[in-house]
Structure 1
């Protein structure tokens, strides 16, 4: 009985914790801790198990996020959220299938929110939680929760990338950009970038990556050009279009092992505002080509 109720909510809890933490392993740990609290609870006194589990998982994630922020302050180079790479679009990536539609650009932008702002935004926008549930989960008033949600929305609007672009729009822009890059037509790729575009790469001190965000199309293309010039001198490189967090992405492999994931997000004009490049092998996992 206990396990059946929990299993019915597991995917939603995984999605919630992944959105909160931006890390797969962290989400799994938070959900496991939620299970331990659920197994020890008196469920006869719990009127709404789904809401109870969301509350517990959210607060565990908040505590985890506070600890993680201290670690990210000393992280080497920019910290980017961990991608969910869909090697087989037809296969379910249980238990993270419900998290796959969370854009990496949004996960990155959520880093600018406080822990409670992040929780309020995710619960309200992704899980349609009422303000009464938010107040109970976060231990505050409904009025305060309305302010948290409003403040988080304003902060996210000011980050640059759009989060309301259609999948078709992102797919078309991604296809044009990645095809231009793979064809080494860097002038065409440059024309797709917004003047204030930003490219962020995460190597985690384990792979070579820019130690700061790249700003503007000229600087971004200079780095892309240098990377592809170097790649031509080496053996074993292949590129593949794939799907990462439900958006098109370019995967680069070295001798069949994934070496980087690149994806993007547009601005209000349809130009590329934000480019995500993951090179940290700890966040890429073992993905064979």
Structure 2
């Protein structure tokens, strides 16, 4: 039976929440959109009149699609060229989802999304549904076809794994801009020493080029190594201009709720550098330069008023 206008409207109303769940589960906006579209096709094929709680039905279908995707994604990432990092979402992107509590904001941070990659698919699902969307364990158990006690155990295990990652300091947009401005000033100073002072002693730097843009397969570790690498990124070089198609304009922004440096060439986002901030300094610099993971950022960038760049690189 074809969907009625009311049935379509019900799905449209649920879509933002479904996209936000799928993004947190998959770490990819493109894959999240595909999962939500497949959920709609399942909704379209279902006997909707017999579904008692449509929102719960849609969430279960979506979550299980994402679990299947995560299982196959693990195999694909074993052959991924270099480091794999999530697809960044710029501040204001609706796919970031709810941000009313610290737990919700934390769950979509680039740092936590990276940590979630270490979890088993069912751990990731329980963590996201409980921590970011406050689903009761009774509903999570029904979604995943486990007992309520099992859901609670899985959640506590997942939460412990995430907590073992480095904590971050939550910052607002104004503070994020100040952090990025200070970081860029140090990076453009011509010396790595100012950067060292902004970094924690055990800072790391990781890059994802997806085999399409050069990115070191192994992380840089330690403040001195990270500072030297970042300083090198901002040194002028014709090869760099040729690689990205021009001289980037550099902006202070936020991505996934964290301070970020954006490199933009002719309106195209060519790099997003997320800074993980702690009370002791910048603990991690995560660089997304894989063009396949920057298309949504570019589309979002074109739709916002971003003002003047802080500097023009190279």
TM-score (ref. length: structure 1)? 0.89
Write the distance in 2 (CA, Å) between the matches of 1:57 and 1:175: 40
Q: Within 5 Å, which residues of 2 pair with 1:207-246? A: 207-231=213-237, 236-246=247-257
- Worse-superposed segment, 177-186 or 273-282: 177-186
Q: Does 1:61 align with 2:66?
A: yes
Do the aligned residues in 2 keep the contact of 1:194 with 1:272 (CA within 8 Å)?
yes
**Offset of residue 222 of structure 1:** 1.3
1:263 aligns with 2:312: no
Q: Residue 249 of structure 1 corresponds to which residue in structure 2? A: 260
CA distance, structure 1, for counterparts of residue 236 and residue 155 of structure 2: 46
- Correspondence list, 1:19-98, <5 A: 19-86=24-91, 93=93, 96=95, 98=97
**Distance in 2 between the 1:161 and 1:73 partners?**
27
- State whether structure 2 residue 27 is matched by structure 1 residue 16: no
CA distance in 2, matches of 1:174, 1:271: 12
Distance 1:241 1:179 in 2: 12
- RMSD between superposed Cα atoms in Å: 2.3
Structure 2 Cα separation of the partners of residues 178 and 282 of structure 1: 25
1:6 corresponding residue in structure 2: 11
The 3 A distance-change label for structure 1 pair 232 and 193 is farther
Query: How far is 1:46 from its partner?
Result: 2.4
- Structure 1 contact 11–97 (Cα < 8 Å) conserved: no
Structure 2 residue corresponding to 1:119, chosen from 125, 149, 152: 125
**Which contiguous aligned blocks of 4+ residues in structure 1 show a shift greater than 6 angstroms?**
none
Deviations 1:219-254 (A, max 9, x none): 111111222224488562321222322333111234
1:187-217, Cα deviation, whole Å (9 max, x unpaired)? 2221121111111100011001111111111
Q: For structure 1, list consecutive stretches of 5 or more residues without a partner in the other structure.
A: none
Please say if residues 263 and 275 of structure 1, whose CA atoms lie closer than 8 Å, have aligned partners that are also in contact. Answer: yes
Say whether the 8 Å CA contact 2:179–2:259 is kept in structure 1.
no
Deviation at 1:33, TM superposition (A): 1.0
Equivalent residue, structure 1, for 2:290: 280
Alignment partner of 1:192 out of 184, 191, 198: 198
Q: Matches of 2:267 and 2:127 in 1, distance apart? A: 39
- The CA deviation at 1:170 is 4.8
Secondary structure at 1:229 match in 2: coil
2 CA distance for matches of 1:241 and 1:210? 24
SS in 1 for 2:270: strand
Extract unaligned runs of 5+ from structure 2: 1-5, 100-104, 303-314
Shift, 1:184, TM fit: 4.1
Q: Aligned partners of 2:133 and 2:53: how far apart in 1?
A: 15
Number of residue pairs the alignment of both structures matches: 281
Partners of 1:25 and 1:124 in 2: CA distance: 23
1:132-211 correspondence runs (5 A): 132-162=138-168, 165-167=170-172, 170-184=176-190, 186-211=192-217
Q: Any idea what SS the aligned residue of 1:189 has?
A: helix
Displacement of 1:37: 1.4
